[in-house]
Amino acid sequence: MQAKLAIEGGKPVREGGFPSVSDISGRDLGEQEIANLTEVVKSGKLFRHGGKYVTSLEADFARMLGRAHALACTSGTAAIHLALAAVDPNPGDEVITTPITDMGTISPIVQQNAIPIFADLDPRTFNLDPESVAARITDRTRAIIVVHLFGNPADIDAIAALARPRGIAVIEDCCQAYLAQDHGRLAGSMGDLACFSLQQSKHMTAGDGGIMVTDNADFATRAALFSDKGWTRTGDVRDYVKLGLNYRMNELTGAVAHAQLGKVAGVVARRRERADQLTRLLGEQAPGVEPPYTREGCRHSYWQYPITIDEGRLGVAPQEFCRAINAEGVPAGVGYIGRPIYMSAALRTAPTYGSSRCPFDCPKASRVVSYQEQDCSNTVEILRRIIVVPWNEQYREQDVADIGAGIGKVARHYAAGR
């Protein structure tokens, strides 16, 4: 006999919360971060120029990825902006990217007066579909920003094969994908440039912060100038040689990030261990529930743990299934961002600069670009179906057992037709 669902008045599987990345319960933060911060404060050198931690972070991060250059900055959004500034598109040029992402991937495109073009997604990996990317390339395409969503490696090889013969830069958005792997290669080591976030929820965190990496010396130079107001910092007078912003990371952020860099391999290993546990449990206990799909030869790093359900087999919609597992005490949400990012007012209707819609109405653009929900039909369906379970490195075996039991209980209930 099936146990009565909590949503129908039964006893929930879990009563009480789980470790969360929003506070110390779900984060690997401790004495090393405190020691580094104390050293910085006592030195009085809080600015990156004159300190040591930001420079060390850049060198060690580049070494971890096997890249020639790393540039620390104020956020993952800033890292994307640095990458685009390095590529240096002309006004009205186009940048292809994904419809499921944070606005931090998109706003730097518009800030550079380029136009975001959205390709559709693979319905299993939730990453960019190379065939859809190919269909969106024009003679104005300057870059493709590829997001490794939730820590699942995207097919960089297939996209690079489209981009590089045409002189199009490939930018990896690795903000959710520390140490994810594609046939032994780390996310962030494959594109022309790659970007990472140090925001609170990421695999390594300093509250906020970002890092951009590249092997291209010209890209590195342009990005470094852009991050420091175009200031060369050479000679006896200030020489501003390029339009830029202030995206410099400070030593306090660098001190925390450097301590975190020493922990990130362990963080990812623990996330993988617990994710593998849940995948096994779902296979044993949860009929009709599909765990994350990863391409052969790839390794997920589990920023989040997304699942889908077989609606035909279970006879239930994702929203109802999610409400039922929430009632069992399992944290989860449907849809991640709800609608494709291109449906946000910031991209469809809101003014961008003053009362204008530049770059969308820019005379330098070669065509008028507007967005409709069904532009990326796979994306719309993914967002309708996907159920995202939050994940972190501090989950214990019992935490995951309870998540698996809660999902399994609900799945068996619906599979039995009750």
Phi, psi dihedrals of residue 247, rounded to the nearest 5°: -115, 25
The reply to whether 250 and 330 lie within a common domain is: no
What is this structure's pTM? 0.96
Residue 172 lies in a domain: yes
pLDDT at 216: 98
Q: Pick from 83, 177, 26, 93: which is nearest to 365 by CA? A: 93
On whether both 104 and 211 belong to a single domain, the answer is yes
Determine the pLDDT at residue 235: 83
Same domain, 86 and 14: no
- 402 pLDDT exceeds 80? yes
Residues 257 and 390 in one domain: no
| Percentage of the chain lying above the pLDDT 90 cut | 96
Query: What's 306's domain CATH number?
Result: 3.90.1150.10
Domain match, 297 and 259 both: no
249 and 320 fall within a common domain: no
pLDDT digits (tens, 9 = 90+) for 231-272: 999 888 889 999 999 999 999 999 999 999 999 999 999 999
Structural domain ending residue among the three candidates 238, 263, 288: 263
Instruction: Note whether residue 375 is domain-resident.
Output: no
Domain end (from 210, 231, 263) = 263
Q: What is the DSSP string of 264-313?
A: HHHHHHHHHHHHHHHHHHHHHH-TTEE-----TTEE---SEEEEEE-HHH
Sheet holding 181-182, edge to edge: 185-186, 181-182, 298-299
Domain boundary, last residue among 263, 281, 308: 263
Q: What is the pLDDT of residue 1?
A: 64
Stretch 82-86: mean pLDDT? 98
Residue 231 domain-assigned? yes
Do the Cβ atoms of 287 and 415 come closer than 8 Å? Answer: yes
Average pLDDT over the chain reads: 97
Q: Tell me what pLDDT residue 74 has.
A: 98
Residues 117 and 162 in one domain: yes
Answer whether residue 95 is part of any domain.
yes
pLDDT the model gives residue 26: 96
**Cis amide bond preceding 390, omega within 30:** no
Please state, in angstroms and rounded to a whole number, the distance separating the CA atoms of residues 108 and 143: 12
Q: Examine residue 162 and state whether it is found in any structural domain, yes or no.
A: yes
Q: What are phi and psi of 52, to 5 degrees?
A: -125, -25
Domain that holds residue 230: 31-263
Q: Do 181 and 200 share a structural domain? A: yes
- Indicate if the pLDDT at residue 301 is higher than 80: yes
Residue 204 forms part of a structural domain = yes
Structure tokens at 155: 């097919």
Catalytic: which of 4, 42, 52, 202?
Answer: 202
Do 202 and 121 belong together in one domain? yes
The answer to whether residue 372 sits within a structural domain is no
Domain count along the chain: 2
Mean pLDDT across 95-109 = 98
256 and 118, same structural domain? yes
Task: Kindly state whether residues 88 and 226 are assigned to the same domain.
Answer: yes
Could you tell me the two tokens for 173? 């958005």
> Is 1 among the domain residues?
no
Statement to judge: residues 293 and 390 lie in one domain:
yes
Distance CA 124, CA 392 (A): 23
CATH number of the structural domain spanning residue 112: 3.40.640.10
To the query of whether residue 52 is one of the catalytic residues in this protein, the response is no
CA 207 to each of CA 23, 200, 227: distance values in angstroms, whole numbers, following the listed order? 11, 4, 19
